[in-house]
């Protein structure tokens, strides 16, 4: 096909070209490979490649039988296992680990015809809102490589935003789809708890806080992929409310007006919110009000600080459990040298957390979930900034040498419990969440939530706006996103320097 500009097409568009035989799967694959090899040295988005496996899949496909046949994609280097391939979770300790089977999420993507070509960069064990693992080095934002693409799906967001692939795997346990979507000008939806598969090796991710999905440039790609992969799985701990329709078909149905929208630009934990992030929300709701929606400034009926604390209690416990499982896989005791200092500190705090404390904090999830269900009986959407601050510069949030020394001292004294009692854990929590305090709520309540690219800051970086809907109502989010995508508010993918090359 003369004049075939691979990166100008979304996944749906590429699939249509292949089905019409205007291009072949091999040609599309080659274009993806060329862009990955050209841009990855600058962006460090892809950390492991399995091109030959993708080529073999092309040769085995009947290119017209599956909805996304021949469309290349990338997967996230945690939980999105490919049989026989290395998956490290961003940690040096896992550098020799190979997956025994495809994850259910990956299996369903392959069944849809998508071609995984590699794994993308993540922070160690996907624990941070920036992607700067010591093992691989930092992933960089295609809009400005001095800045982070966010985390933990930072490698995936950099790959999609630069046009390496039209879609990449992601997961979201506290904002890890929505934060990088906001920072890289992408569309990112976290589905309802239980909507997408997380097995077969586990029935839950982060006690149900984490969901698997993708990052995309277009709304229709996200909707189509959710159509293709959602549904029950054996051994799953959670079941989403049933949905028999088609997200792709529903997204084009105009929202009933006047739909009611509540919004807030206040941090739920009482910390500062950058004026650019506030403006992203305010200009969006002003536009929606002019478009016939009912808009009201109103905070969510939950205690933001309790939500943050309950999220971090789970976070600490999950890290401690991860380190324990790591010892089993390595068949030896692990030390501080095996993992990054922050990971070690979080693990210590997890070990110092009692079962009673863990359970009591989980109960806060249920309290918040009920409150939000009642809230959404009145309001169709709850709108906030996706993040409280624009992207940080690379290295800005790294652990300082003095902090590393303190962690070593605490570790040597086995003073995790003392650290918790001192209030240092609460300080750590606030510092950890002050840049991204808005996203965790939907993870704990199990609601679907999305970040939409509708604003750019004064220095040209994207800033996303978050929409949350009632549990099971992804179709409403797709309808809103599809509407906004048709307006001048939506940031066009070809505005970043890499994408236009």
Contact indicator for 171, 210 with CB cutoff of 8 Å: yes
196: nearest Cα among 283, 80, 284? 80
Q: How far is the C-alpha of 334 from the C-alpha of 327, rounded, in Å? A: 6
Helix H or strand E encompassing 171: strand 167-172
Q: Give CA–CA dist 490/76, Å, rounded.
A: 26
Q: What share of the chain is helix, strand, coil (3-state, %, to 5)?
A: 45, 15, 45
Q: Which helix (H) or strand (E) holds 468?
A: strand 462-468
User: Does residue 176 carry a catalytic annotation?
Assistant: yes
Candidate list 103, 156, 157, 176, residue with the active-site label? 176
Task: Decide if 211 contacts 196 (C-beta within 8 A).
Answer: yes
Cα(340)–Cα(75) distance, integer angstroms: 23
Rg (CA), the chain: 21
Which listed residue (69, 76, 156, 267) is catalytic?
Answer: 76
Mark residue 439 as left, alpha or beta (left: phi above 0; alpha: psi -120 to 50; beta: remaining).
alpha
Preceding amide of 93 cis, omega within 30? no
Find, among 393, 462, 387, the residue nearest to 145 by Cα.
393
Strands 462-468 and 115-120: unpaired
Pairing of strands 167-172, 211-216: antiparallel
Six-digit token string for 249? 């078909």
Distance CA 179, CA 391 (A): 9
Using the structure block, give the residue that is written with the tokens 């808009």.
295
The answer to whether 363 is a known catalytic residue is: no
Note the Cα 163 to chain centre separation in Å: 18
46: alpha, beta or left, given left = phi > 0 and alpha = psi -120 to 50?
A: beta
CB-neighbour burial class of residue 459 (10 A; exposed 0-12, middle 13-18, buried 19+)? exposed
Place of tokens 């506290």: 174
Burial status of residue 337 (CB atoms within 10 A of its CB: 0-12, 13-18, 19 or more): exposed
Find the catalytic residue in 69, 91, 103, 152: 152
- CA-nearest of 157, 85, 153, 151 to 118 is 85
Please give the structure tokens belonging to residue 51: 């091109």
What are the catalytic residues? Answer: 76, 152, 176
């Amino acid at each position: 096909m003369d004049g075939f500009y691979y990166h100008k097409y979304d996944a749906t568009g590429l699939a249509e070209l292949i089905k019409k035989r205007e291009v072949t799967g091999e040609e599309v694959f080659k274009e993806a490979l060329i862009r990955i090899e050209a841009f990855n040295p600058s962006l460090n988005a892809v950390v492991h490649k399995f091109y030959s496996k993708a080529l073999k899949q092309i040769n085995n496909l009947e290119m017209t039988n599956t909805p996304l046949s021949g469309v290349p994609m990338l997967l996230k280097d945690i939980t999105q296992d490919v049989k026989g391939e290395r998956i490290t979770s961003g940690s040096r300790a896992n550098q020799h680990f190979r997956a025994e089977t495809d994850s259910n999420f990956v299996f369903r993507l392959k069944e849809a015809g998508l071609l995984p070509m590699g794994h993308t960069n993540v922070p160690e064990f996907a624990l941070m809102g920036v992607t700067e693992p010591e093992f691989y080095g930092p992933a960089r934002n295609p809009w400005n490589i001095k800045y982070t693409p966010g985390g933990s799906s930072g490698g995936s967001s950099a790959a999609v935003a630069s046009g390496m692939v039209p879609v990449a795997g992601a997961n979201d346990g506290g904002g890890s789809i929505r934060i990088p979507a906001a920072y890289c000008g992408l569309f990112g939806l976290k589905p309802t708890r239980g909507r997408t598969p997380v097995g077969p090796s586990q029935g839950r991710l982060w006690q149900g806080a984490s969901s698997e999905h993708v990052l995309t440039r277009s709304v229709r790609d996200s909707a189509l992929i959710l159509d293709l992969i959602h549904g029950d799985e054996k051994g799953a701990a959670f079941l989403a409310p049933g949905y028999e329709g088609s997200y792709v078909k529903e997204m084009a149905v105009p929202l009933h007006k006047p739909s009611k929208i509540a919004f807030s630009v206040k941090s739920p934990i009482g910390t500062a919110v950058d004026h650019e992030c506030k403006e992203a929300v305010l200009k969006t709701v002003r536009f929606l009000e002019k478009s016939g929606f009912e808009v009201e400034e109103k905070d969510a009926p939950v205690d933001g600080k309790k939500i943050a604390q309950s999220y971090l209690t789970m976070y600490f416990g999950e890290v401690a459990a991860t380190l324990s499982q790591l010892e089993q896989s390595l068949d030896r005791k692990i030390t501080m040298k095996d993992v990054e200092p922050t990971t070690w500190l979080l693990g210590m705090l997890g070990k110092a957390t009692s079962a009673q404390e863990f359970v009591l904090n989980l109960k806060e999830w249920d309290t918040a979930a009920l409150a939000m269900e009642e809230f959404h009986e009145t309001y169709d959407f709850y709108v906030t900034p996706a993040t409280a601050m624009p992207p940080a510069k690379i290295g800005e949030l790294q652990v300082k040498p003095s902090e590393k020394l303190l962690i070593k001292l605490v570790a040597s004294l086995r003073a995790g419990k003392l650290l918790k009692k001192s209030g240092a854990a609460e300080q750590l929590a606030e510092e950890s969440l002050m840049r991204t305090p808005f996203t965790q709520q939907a993870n704990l309540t199990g609601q679907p939530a999305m970040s939409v690219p509708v604003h750019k800051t004064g220095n040209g970086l994207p800033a996303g706006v978050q929409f949350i809907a009632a549990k099971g109502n992804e179709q409403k989010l797709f309808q809103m996103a599809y509407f906004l995508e048709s307006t001048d508010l939506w940031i066009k993918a070809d505005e970043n320097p890499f994408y236009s090359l």
